[in-house]
Structure 1
Amino acid sequence: MADSQFSRPELPQLIATIRSDLLTRFEEDVLLRRMDAEVYARAQAAAVHTLYGYIDYLARNMLPDLCDEDWLYRHGRIKRCPRKDAVAATGFVRWDGISGTPTLPAGTQVQRDDQVTFTTTQTVKASGGVLRVPLIADNTGAAGNTDDVWRCAWVRQSAASRQQDTLTP
């Protein structure tokens, strides 16, 4: 979670501060200084630490840029801006160093190393050793988002069996 820039003292620091406050208020009376100051300091520090934690939580969630999921949903409802449904990711996959001029038909499945599948949206023919294919994720949401570092495999159906051709990007 992002930092709210709210300065929250650590529990040991609160204990030391409250202990110091209690002991200085008892002044020079040795008997009173050794009574229950430690117990009071720890109990008050724990309560104050909890309150600081709640204030930190509120400070993080007060504005939409740092808030958690539940608060973001609420911010959207307050501003009459409901959350949109997930959509399928779209983009291109590119293979370099292709020999010949293979054609990849529309509707061909392309699969990432983690088994997430995509479908090509146009028939494309390799040119100059490069095959660049537009595609759409088969699933909606963040699962289809793909960085450049993923390896993809071209999966095609044949009459006899499912055959997989791997093209290295």
Structure 2
Amino acid sequence: MPFNRPTLSELIERSRGDIETRLPGADSALRHSVLDVLARMHGGAMSGVYGYLDFLARQILPDTADGEFLARHASNWGIRRKAAVTATATATATGVNGTAIAAGTQALRVDGQAYRVTAPATIAAGTAALSIEAIEPGPDADLTVGTVLTLSSTIVGVNAAITVSAAGTAGALEEDDASLLARLLDRIRTPPRGGSSNDYRAWALAQPGVTRAWVYPGWMGIGTVGVAFVMDQREDIIPLEADIDAVQAALDILRPVTAEVVVFAPTPAPLDIVVRVVPNTPAVRAAISAELADFLAREAEPGGTIHLSRISEAISLAAGEFSHAIELPDTDFTPEPGHIASLGTVTFV
């Protein structure tokens, strides 16, 4: 039999009933009386107790738990929340030969993102290679070659501007509850089988920054397994070479000794869409573009078919859309193996 949590009003009425039962002739409903105040105070306190019990009840089972309780459930199954990753890079500083740059020296990007030097360096032949890392983890701190940073404090003999010469590790946020829960439920519902397709997928998803992964048995012949993945936290979800190397190294440790694992990044296959929409306003166009991007993020997979009816459904979900007709594509879209559908140009006519 389900338990229904009483409302605050019901608890106050119960308190009034208890008072009147134990104090014959008392009227606890008399507004602003001492008994009325006591009834309301007791009802409010009990409401808080019921609320806490309701919270604890949700934490008992993993599919309704959250925060540290969810992490505890996951740890019992050998699953750890993926930690945040700090972006790294190599930057070139210029200045007077022999000038030292200490570890911990900070530099700022034009948007205020802060970085620090991780190892001391000395100017030689006019330049010095600096190993730098972001102070705050996450993909927003990723650096690209050519980005100019400015030293936050003056160093005599060193020019204030330093330039990124090589990208390193990409940043990633700490895994959120939704992703952790999805991995936990997948582990509970699909136990390990010594190297099944789901095992490879779970191993890939356990790596920092990886949000979706696909497994292809016999990808390059008998005894090989192909693993493709994307990183949805970034603006460009396609993994970099360093990301591929990191996942490859992790899977090489976990894979069965008889399997050869090939980790690769899917190649984007732009899907151009031409649609006639009513009303054709900027707000509706923006809403349709957002729904299409979200649709592909949910359903696109390497070599997977994007059905025309599903594209139409995504457009219909856009706020303000009344009717539409898709002029392009005129049939289902299936990219080549290893290619993943991505949103190309959306044209409104």
- TM-score of the superposition, structure 2-length normalised? 0.28
List alignment gaps of at least 5 residues for structure 1. Answer: 91-105, 121-133, 137-145, 153-164
Superposition pairs of residues 11-50 of structure 1, within 5 angstroms: 11-28=8-25, 35-50=33-48
Rounded Cα–Cα distance in structure 2 between residues aligned with 1:66 and 1:29: 44
Per-residue deviation, 1:80: 2.5
SS at match of 2:25: coil
1:111-126 correspondence to structure 2 within 5 Å: 111=271, 114-115=292-293, 116=296
Offset of residue 88 of structure 1: 3.3
For residue 79 of structure 2, the aligned residue among 78, 81, 84 is 81
Greater RCO (Cα-Cα under 8 Å, separation 6 or more): 1
**Deviation by residue 1:98-134 (Cα, 9 ceiling, x = unmatched):** xxxxxxxx956153861347575xxxxxxxxxxxxx2
* 1:67 matched residue in structure 2: 65
Alignment deviations for residues 45-69 of structure 1 (CA, whole Å, 9 cap, x no partner): 0010011001001001111132235
- Percent identical residues: 26
- Inter-partner Cα distance in structure 2 for 1:47 and 1:22: 16
Greater gyration radius: 1
> For 1:87 and 1:150, how far apart are their aligned partners in 2?
20
CA distance in 2, matches of 1:119, 1:53: 42
Measured at CA, do residues 167 and 20 of structure 1 come closer, stay the same or move farther in structure 2, by a change above 3 Å? same
Instruction: Spell out the pairing of 1:70-149 with structure 2 (5 A cutoff).
Output: 70-82=68-80, 83=180, 84-85=206-207, 86-88=211-213, 107=267, 109-111=269-271, 114-115=292-293, 116=296, 134-135=303-304, 149=309
Aligned Cα root-mean-square deviation (Å): 3.9
Whether the aligned pair in 2 keeps the contact of 1:6 and 1:59 (CA below 8 Å) is: no
Task: Select which of 303, 311, 336 maps to 1:151.
Answer: 311
User: Does the C-alpha gap of structure 1 residues 47 and 76 become closer, same or farther in structure 2, counting only changes over 3 Å?
Assistant: same
Tell me, yes or no, if the aligned pair for 2:308 and 2:329 is still in contact at 8 Å.
no
Runs of 4+ in 1 over 6 A off after TM superposition: none
Corresponding residue pairs, total: 116
